[in-house]
A and B are shown apart, each in its own frame.
Chain A
Amino acid sequence: GQNIDQPTEMTATEGAIVQINCTYQTSGFNGLFWYQQHAGEAPTFLSYNVLDGLEEKGRFSSFLSRSKGYSYLLLKELQMKDSASYLCAVNSGNTPLVFGKGTRLSVIA
């Protein structure tokens, strides 16, 4: 099976930088997704990493190390609207697209 771990909760200050980690154990790795989900809404796409390295999209960046089974989502210049849950999901060969339990981020003034 797959094992995907994320911290349950994080708190950060408006304007700061926060890093949300995701570790995974799986076979047949195809890629890793990050999603943002506000309460009561469907998840929305942030990034998809297939190769090692950092991908930047505006204030959000995502990093992948396949050899370490590790990814992180980096959020810069935090805004109050970034308060949400951040979900990591692994696309693998055995059972595709299993999600971690998500990290609830609270941005405080």
Chain B
Amino acid sequence: DAGITQSPRYKITETGRQVTLMCHQTWSHSYMFWYRQDLGHGLRLIYYSAAADITDKGEVPDGYVVSRSKTENFPLTLESATRSQTSVYFCASLTRDTTANTGELFFGEGSRLTVL
């Protein structure tokens, strides 16, 4: 089915462990994004990617690593998880038609990560 999927949906890990959250989209959208959402902070941009092999830092990149070897995949890695990284993580991809002035950001269902 077409769409954007995240895995795992739920993850519990321990401080210091490496964790990778996967994101896969079937539309071949160029732009993809990773956000974290915490109470009181809303959605905060971690990293984004404009195309395969092009990634850029967002608002809160520290402690995270991303890669984009293929257009459809945009994994997010926490190299050494900390308790402050306990959060809900959303992946998203963007479609935008500058001629028609339309656009939409499609979100995955989210990955709830708990770091003990």
Interface residues of A (CB under 8 A from B): 30-31, 33, 35, 42-45, 48, 50-51, 87, 89, 91, 95-102
Q: Give the contact-size bracket for chain B.
A: 20 to 34
Can you list 24 A-B contacts (CB < 8 A)? Answer: A31-B96, A31-B101, A35-B105, A42-B90, A44-B107, A45-B105, A48-B101, A48-B102, A48-B104, A50-B101, A50-B103, A87-B42, A89-B43, A95-B45, A95-B56, A95-B58, A95-B59, A96-B94, A97-B45, A97-B94, A97-B105, A99-B43, A99-B44, A102-B42
Chain B residues lying within 8 Å of A97, measured Cβ to Cβ, are: 31, 33, 45, 48, 92, 94, 105
CB contacts between A and B, total, < 8 Å? 64
Q: Which of A35, A43, A95, A101 has the largest number of chain B CB atoms within 10 A?
A: A43
Nearest 8 Cβ contacts at the A-B interface: A101-B42, A50-B101, A99-B43, A42-B107, A48-B103, A102-B42, A45-B104, A43-B107
Shortest C-beta distance, A44 to chain B (Å), equals 8
Chain B residues lying within 8 Å of A43, measured Cβ to Cβ, are: 43, 90, 107
Chain B residues lying within 8 Å of A95, measured Cβ to Cβ, are: 45, 48, 56, 58-59
